[in-house]
Amino acid sequence: MSRYRGPRLRISRRLGDLPGLTRKQSKKTFPAGEHGQQVRKPSEYALRLEEKQKIRYNYGLNEKQLLKNIKAAKKVQGSTGIILLQMLEMRLDNTIFRLGLAPTIPAARQLVNHKHILVNNINTSVCSYQCKPGDIIRIKNKNSSQGLVKKYLESPVLVNIPNHLEVDKNTLTAKVNGVIERDWVGIQLNELLVVEYYSRK
């Protein structure tokens, strides 16, 4: 399945608050769709599927990419669910979003794809690049790049920057100081249900 390009509010109404997908808020409290107002008790499969969909839509991944990350997380010693979230949070596009340099992850991905971002003074256009402790992230010293990010900074979205990141908004330079802790992950979900969903595949 390719990356989702449809209405984002529809997804956030169905799955709950997804800060990486959109910053818009719907006035409607019930899920989208013809049967959105019906109250049903979800099955165990539906609960796991919903948690998996939250990850997919929030981080902007397709099914193949998410499955690849799950397999990589299983090879690392520790809790697979937490390692998966750390891998997704340390992606370059998500890191730029969490620094407040872009209003959403799709906007951050566009900055990366259009080569506005330097990592350790190297032009990086790979959104899935895994940021590591010690990495220095800069906005390219170009009027178009700097102007775009400054425009984003005029209307900040995130209240707090995670404790593993630091940013200087005057020089548009950021540093990765460590790996994100579970408490600072920007989305509310049960990662164990996601691991269980894929373990039954």
76-115 tens-digit pLDDT: 998 999 999 999 999 999 999 988 888 888 889 999 999 9
CATH topology of domain 91-179: 3.10.290
114-161 tens-digit pLDDT: 999 999 999 988 999 999 999 999 999 888 888 888 888 877 666 678
**CATH superfamily to which 8-87+186-199 belongs:** Ribosomal protein S4/S9, N-terminal domain (1.10.1050.10)
pTM: 0.83
Identify whether the C-beta of residue 129 lies closer than 8 Å to the C-beta of residue 137.
no
Which 8-state DSSP code applies to residue 3? Answer: P
Identify whether the C-beta of residue 149 lies closer than 8 Å to the C-beta of residue 139.
yes
Domain ranges of the chain: 8-87+186-199, 91-179
3-state secondary structure of 75: coil
Answer yes or no: same fold for 8-87+186-199 and 91-179.
no
Rounded to whole angstroms, the Cα distance separating 150 from 164 reads 22
